[in-house]
Amino acid sequence: MSSSCKTLPLYSKSEFEKHVKPNQCWVSIDQRKIYNVSKFLDENPEGYQYVLDHAGQDVTQLLKDMQTDEPTDLAHQLLSDAYLIGYLATSEEERKLLTNANHVVEVKPANGNRVDSGFVKKLPTEEKLAIATDFKTDYEKHHFLDLDKPLFMQVLFGNFTKEFYIDQVHRPRHYGKESAPLFGNFLEPLSKTSWWVIPIVWYPCVIYYIRTALLNISTPLALFLFGVGVFVWTLIEYGLHRFLFHFDDRMPESNIVFTLHFLLHGIHHYLPMDKYRLVMPPALFLALCYPFYKLVFSILPYYCACAGFAGGLFGYVGYDVTHYFLHHRKLPPFMRKLKKYHLEHHYKNYELGFGVTSWYWDKVFNTYLSPTAPLSRAKYD
């Protein structure tokens, strides 16, 4: 089996049904996936008794009854991959595989549960976004990139046209919980960045510059310029995403350019749920930020520039962290529309919806991704 599949223990039905206490509360979905929701009970006292009443049982129909267009808070949390601990064995698996209580086996979800590469009117459920693409089938069908092999060299030496590359790289695939190999060598760790690195690296800079400004100019002026910096960042965010990250149709027919595009943003559209390639590595941000830094400090007095630059940098950190959370966190109700909006940029139409922290500039520049917007056209099926 592919190494991308989730590797977790199998449990017999009798073992599963034993876990009905608050500190070991298990439920199953589709008579297959087992979730330990004890932590949910600790964090959600309002749903404590309701969930505990269904411990040791399958809750698939229960969750369906609770769902309308969007899952409720309870359904969202119970389906979290963080709680997935194993699989309920079939009778055949019990007979063959559970003679050893510590046995662990790879369980491959049925193909019908997978999200095929393409564009859809209705977003897949979050549970499906965690299911790995069938690497072999995808490669045999599309002849684009083999997810079992390092991707960098495949793009650099790939024998495909610009039109084919653009079509394929924007069609989402899923690698499961891990990250697909990009370089496959010592450079691999450099291609990954955890989301928490961003505030740790850049917030000290924000504090330094705004403190410098506050010590040397009036507080109202410093705070005003800080706010201007945040606002200007939102426009930069939109511009970079639309014109730099998505310079799709403006690319020449060149594998070197395809590779640059893939490293800059293409890999994110190709594998949108990769947790370690969702935020900008500090070195790349430094390169992109430097021209803006020089511009700000050349047109404003130094201490005013410090305040404005601090605001812009603060806006960037908020953008990158928001981007990660839109992909990988359950969000409060007021942010769910923003999450849906951004994910539709990936799964519905990548040529619209360039705003990440808001859709304000999309409306200003007529790139708003509305509910009635058409799907991106898949040309190579």
User: What are the domain boundaries of the chain?
Assistant: 10-98, 153-365
At residue 169, does pLDDT exceed 80?
A: yes
Establish whether 170 is an annotated binding residue. Answer: no
Q: How far apart are the first and last CA of the chain?
A: 26
Query: How distant is the alpha carbon of residue 213 from its chain centre?
Result: 36
pLDDT value at residue 4: 40
- C-alpha–C-alpha distance, residues 235 and 228, integer Å: 11
* 230-241 pLDDT, tens digit each: 999 999 999 999
User: Is pLDDT above 90 for 319?
Assistant: yes
Read off the pTM: 0.71
The answer to whether 142 is annotated as binding is no
Q: For residues 286 and 91, which has the higher predicted lDDT (pLDDT)?
A: 286
The per-residue pLDDT for 71 is 47
Among candidates 117, 166, 118, which has minimal Cα distance to 137?
A: 117
Residue 216 has pLDDT above 60, yes or no: yes
pLDDT score for 356: 97
342 and 353 Cβ atoms separated by less than 8 Å: yes
More confident residue, 30 or 343: 343
Ranges 49-58, 79-88, 286-295, 331-340: which has the least confidence:
79-88
Tell me whether residue 323 is annotated as binding: yes
Task: Quote the mean pLDDT of the chain.
Answer: 87
Helices 282-299 and 197-216 pack at an angle, to 10 degrees, of 20
E strand spans, the chain: 7-11, 20-21, 24-29, 33-36, 57-58, 84-88, 104-106
Q: Check whether 333 has a pLDDT greater than 50.
A: yes
Residue 212 sits at φ, ψ, to 5 deg, of -60, -45
Give the model's pLDDT for residue 60.
82
How far, in whole angstroms, is CA 164 from its chain's centroid? 24
In the structure, what pLDDT confidence band is assigned to residue 82 with cuts at 50, 70 and 90?
confident
Which of the residue ranges 1-10, 23-32, 262-271 would you say has the lowest mean pLDDT?
Answer: 1-10
76 appears as a binding residue in the annotation: no
For the residues 157-179, what does the mean pLDDT come to? Answer: 92
For the residues 112-126, what does the mean pLDDT come to?
77
**In the predicted model, is pLDDT for residue 67 greater than 60?**
no
Sign of CA dihedral 10, 47, 82, 339: positive
Q: Is 65 helix (H, G, I), strand (E, B) or coil?
A: helix
Report the percentage of the chain scoring pLDDT > 90. Answer: 60
pLDDT at 66: 63
At 35, give phi and psi (nearest 5°): -115, 130
Confidence of residue 75 (pLDDT cuts 50, 70, 90): low
CATH 3.10.120.10 corresponds to the domain 10-98: yes
